Structure 1
Amino acid sequence: MSLSPLRLRLLVASLLTVAFLGALDHTIVATSLATVAGELGALEHMSWVVVGYTLASTVLLPVLGKLGDLVGPRLVFLISVVVFLAASLACGFAQDMTQLVIARIAQGMSSAGIQLMSQTIIAHVTTPRQRPRYMSIIGAAFPIAILVGPVLGGLITDYLGWSWVFWINLPFGVVALALAVFAIPHVETTPRRFDLAGAIAFTLALVALVLGVTWVGDPGSALAAVVAFAFGGIALAAFFLIEVRATEPIVPLGFFANRTVAAGIALSAIIGIGLFSVTAYLPTYFQMAYRTSATVSGFVPIATVFGMLVSNLGTGWLASRTGRYRGYTIFGTSLAAAGLFVMALLPVGTPLWVPMVVMFLVGIGTGSFMSLVIAVVQGAVPRNETGTITATTNLVRQMGSTLGTAVIGGVIGAGVAARLPATLDASSLTPDAVHGAAPVIQGEVAQIYGDVFVPVFAALAITYAVGVIAAILLPPGRLSDEPVTSTTEPVTEPATA
């Protein structure tokens, strides 16, 4: 499906704007969270503002992906934008934490539709050769949101009030919606049955598993976590049984027999497990091990994300120019694996610019295939399954990040608690308390954090090393520059995807 150059530019501008707003809502709320919870008088429920959003955006991915294939991505995208704007308005007017959490859940649901349908629409309006360039532009919304979100959230909260953290979406979202109504074309679809049983089983399984991961680090919620994991396991088993028998499965398991799909989804999972999961802990690591301030500790994750942004745009442009893609995945996984291995070897007290450079290179490696694998996987399935495969690829990345974050948090918490001297309490250990302690204590805590993070970085390096294998197994070839004409055949053959 070809569009005029002007209409394509307007479409990309609309998708990028709304995708950025959806991504921004993951990061902009963080700095205003304490203020919001304090004013609404529910500090103990503060985490649900984030958990509700993340949970809703995760569990709806496969459902919305399938709906996009059944009714067309245009309708799902436009409804998602309208719901997102309405939920943003409701968040700002929330009078208590319950109202805010409900509105955030609606925001998360619609954000999933926005992000997913943005990638699906790009796949429908571009050739496989053009796709990496435009996919990288849409994919840039996430790293940009990470870079500007916390600062923007703090400025808005301080000078305009926390409600405007949510209301800022409205003027930009309305303009993007108007552009989308004009620019997004109708995609031809064929009537097919929706896998309702599979959708219900999958949603129940993911909700239970995500809640279990959320609760597993809280000793008071240990029993709830066990019950959630047990229920999630049963629901997941039921889901697989349903999918094997379903005529139109919500996640077609047969896709995984395709080498391009299997390797691409494995690479997507490695991004979630190998990098997204650890970035949340990097500031704490540098505050404790390198004894930096909170502000300075943010430089390393910023360097990581900036590297990701640069290479994401660069490889998208190069892949569209040459049609080649496999080399970028091998290069990216190898560079990230080497960088994380170096992080495991760095002694505590190394000048801060050294880990900044190393993590910048890790970001370069990850960004080299972050958006590219989505474009490649989309080309390996029939066009009428584009939304489904896009959702599956994003889902494994999201789940990898969620599970990886929980595991790394548990390892760090248990490791630090086991090594701390009896005079220090792990539950009340803060960077300020350590920085105010005697130099001997500071050095001891720094070494403890350094020792605890060594196996974490080493495990993540091994994860990316597995990614090197997946990248090598990705079939070589060139992306086609021919427009897509069939809805039931893969855009490209797996051997030349």
Structure 2
Amino acid sequence: MRLRLLVISLLTVSFLGALDHTVVSTSLATVAGELGALKLMSWVVVGYTLASTVLLPVLGKLGDVLGARRIFLSSLVMFLAASLACGFSQDMAWLIAARVLQGMSSAGLQLMSQTIIARVTSQRERPRYMAIIGAAFPIAVLVGPVLGGAITDYWGWQWVFWINIPVGAAALALALVAVPHLEPGPMPRHFDVAGAAVFTAALVALVLAATWAAERSAGPATAAALAISMLGFVAFYFVERRAPEPVVPLHFFANRTIAAGTALSAIIGVGLFSITAYLPTYVQMAYQTTATVSGLVPIATVFGMLTSNLLTGWLASRTGRYRIFPILGTSLGAAGLFVMAVLPAGLPLWVPMIVMAVVGMGTGAFMSLIVTVVQGAAPASQTGTITATINLVRQVGSTVATAIIGGMIGFGVAALLPAGLDASTLTPQLVKGAAPAVQASVAQIYASVFTPIFIALAATYAVGIVAAVLLPHGRLSDEPVPAPQTTSESLSA
């Protein structure tokens, strides 16, 4: 019974964290208009994403050192306070600062939810529960934009953030009862402050470079941020090699399961999460649909992901076998994206819906499962650290790939548009009002621009097939996870 209450609590807070990333999108225009800072609008999302990404390795290490329960509860309290501050924002700077705090706390909720499940279940039980918690993201993608629009229209944009308070407070009360007191690992002799600082600086520079590249408005700044990022990651490599207690233990990647699982996690971010933001634009332009109808394709993708995630989690827990699911999943993803690349323009909309649903099913087949597999390959005392690494590569892969795809679309469409059409002012409404010949030309341009993108993403999943095949054979263990040693135990050993 307590485990069920724990899963409900973790699912609720994971859903809140995921929802806060998607629900804001439909209220951004209203927020920017009322606060009078349209140019800063994107930073409401970027600040949240940036903060939630860069803190992952630090929070993972702190979870191992201080205990997952303590970090989880602190993150939840901070998330509620930040949500309250967002709703009371008087200007855009205030809102962005509050969103940064929300992003920081959201990272703790996401990460510690997975860490706690890993600490209280056996590896065999874990896929089922991890799939349930992992369902928070696709559900948030499905309902977030619609819910955000409805709340903004009927209650005001402030309630997009304030709605977290009653739900989060109930989840906090449940968590205080259901989340067990887990023994932390041994206190490190030296916390890797240098590694954490260098890694954070390098990652912030990388995310900023990717964001500015997508905006295509800050050439020198983008180049400088990218250079700083590359130098930072080189410095981070050397710092971590010498650190006695590294924040990201590089020796983990000598383990084949961890190396292959990390690659598969990155492929999810690069291969699917990066393209979903552009699918509605592609459908509106290539299939001449309305904005509302264009949302059906990403919805089909996410629904396939949700169904497959829950099914494979249940099957893996029931049978103990896991290797077949990432092999089948990456194969489905590669095949589906290749089919998207060769689909001719003008087909009925249900065709790309089915194809992208297959891609979503392939991704869902190993989305949560691979976290379980990698957690089982790391020492129990470093569960938070390895869980953070898996989530980190997925988010960074998604952020960087999203920026690259955005740049390819912008450059490709601008280069191919016929005379008289400006890419910077081209909208679906403008295209629908144009002559049939112009509509057909724009549809063909978007199809030709997206073709190499889909092929590149299919190739990414093909690399994932190799990574999945490299996963060692084996079955998930029924043995309970041993508690890490406390400081006194480690001293007496």
TM-score normalised by structure 2 residue count: 0.97
* Aligned residues between the structures: 483
- Which SS does the other structure have where 1:277 is aligned? helix
Residue 248 of structure 1 and its aligned partner are, at CA, apart by: 0.7
Q: Residue 493 of structure 1 aligns with which residue?
A: none
- Which SS does the other structure have where 1:94 is aligned? coil
- Which SS does the other structure have where 2:367 is aligned? coil
Percent identity among equivalent residues? Answer: 71
- Structure 2 residues without counterparts, runs of 5 or longer: 486-493
CA distance in structure 2 between the partners assigned to 1:291 and 1:219 by the alignment: 26
Residue 69 of structure 1 and its aligned partner are, at CA, apart by: 0.5
Alignment pair present for 1:288 and 2:288: no
Alignment pair present for 1:411 and 2:411: no
- Counterpart amino acid of residue 403 in structure 2: A
- Counterpart amino acid of residue 19 in structure 2: L
Q: Residue 218 of structure 2 aligns with which residue?
A: 221
CA distance in structure 2 between the partners assigned to 1:280 and 1:330 by the alignment: 26
Alignment pair present for 1:95 and 2:90: yes
Q: Residue 28 of structure 1 aligns with which residue?
A: 23
CA distance in structure 2 between the partners assigned to 1:235 and 1:385 by the alignment: 24
Q: State which of 420, 423, 426 in structure 2 corresponds to 1:426.
A: 423
Once the two structures are superposed, the pairs formed by residues 154-233 of structure 1 within 5 Å of their partners are: 154-189=149-184, 190-192=186-188, 193-233=190-230
Residue 423 of structure 1 and its aligned partner are, at CA, apart by: 1.1
Residue 229 of structure 1 and its aligned partner are, at CA, apart by: 1.0
CA distance in structure 2 between the partners assigned to 1:217 and 1:394 by the alignment: 22
- String of CA shifts for 1:157-195, please: whole Å, max 9, x gaps: 000000000000000100111111111112212211321
Residue 486 of structure 1 and its aligned partner are, at CA, apart by: 5.2
- Structure 1 residues without counterparts, runs of 5 or longer: 1-5, 489-497
Residue 381 of structure 1 and its aligned partner are, at CA, apart by: 0.6
Q: State which of 44, 56, 78 in structure 2 corresponds to 1:83.
A: 78
Alignment pair present for 1:17 and 2:28: no
Residue 236 of structure 1 and its aligned partner are, at CA, apart by: 1.4
Alignment pair present for 1:64 and 2:59: yes
- Which SS does the other structure have where 1:217 is aligned? helix
CA distance in structure 1 between the partners assigned to 2:484 and 2:176 by the alignment: 23
Q: Residue 458 of structure 1 aligns with which residue?
A: 455
Once the two structures are superposed, the pairs formed by residues 342-353 of structure 1 within 5 Å of their partners are: 342-353=339-350
Greater mean deviation of Cα atoms: 212-221 or 197-206: 212-221
- String of CA shifts for 1:264-315, please: whole Å, max 9, x gaps: 0000000000000000000000100100000000000000000000000000
Contact 2:49 / 2:103 at 8 angstroms: preserved in 1? yes
- String of CA shifts for 1:309-344, please: whole Å, max 9, x gaps: 000000000000000000011010001111111111
CA distance in structure 2 between the partners assigned to 1:119 and 1:217 by the alignment: 31
Q: Residue 147 of structure 1 aligns with which residue?
A: 142
CA distance in structure 1 between the partners assigned to 2:87 and 2:214 by the alignment: 31
- Which SS does the other structure have where 1:220 is aligned? coil
CA distance in structure 2 between the partners assigned to 1:296 and 1:55 by the alignment: 31
- Counterpart amino acid of residue 184 in structure 1: V
Alignment pair present for 1:381 and 2:375: no
CA distance in structure 2 between the partners assigned to 1:228 and 1:339 by the alignment: 35
Q: State which of 19, 35, 38 in structure 2 corresponds to 1:40.
A: 35
Contact 2:57 / 2:247 at 8 angstroms: preserved in 1? yes
TM-score normalised by structure 1 residue count: 0.96
Q: Residue 351 of structure 2 aligns with which residue?
A: 354
Alignment pair present for 1:472 and 2:469: yes
- Counterpart amino acid of residue 391 in structure 2: N
Residue 397 of structure 1 and its aligned partner are, at CA, apart by: 0.3
CA distance in structure 2 between the partners assigned to 1:360 and 1:339 by the alignment: 9
Distance of aligned partners of 1:466 and 1:215 in 2 relative to their CA distance in 1, 3 Å threshold: same
- Which SS does the other structure have where 2:123 is aligned? coil
Contact 2:216 / 2:407 at 8 angstroms: preserved in 1? no
Alignment pair present for 1:115 and 2:101: no
Over the aligned positions, Cα root-mean-square deviation in angstroms equals 0.8
CA distance in structure 1 between the partners assigned to 2:337 and 2:68 by the alignment: 38
- Counterpart amino acid of residue 447 in structure 1: Q
Distance of aligned partners of 1:81 and 1:297 in 2 relative to their CA distance in 1, 3 Å threshold: same
- Counterpart amino acid of residue 114 in structure 1: L
- Which SS does the other structure have where 2:276 is aligned? coil
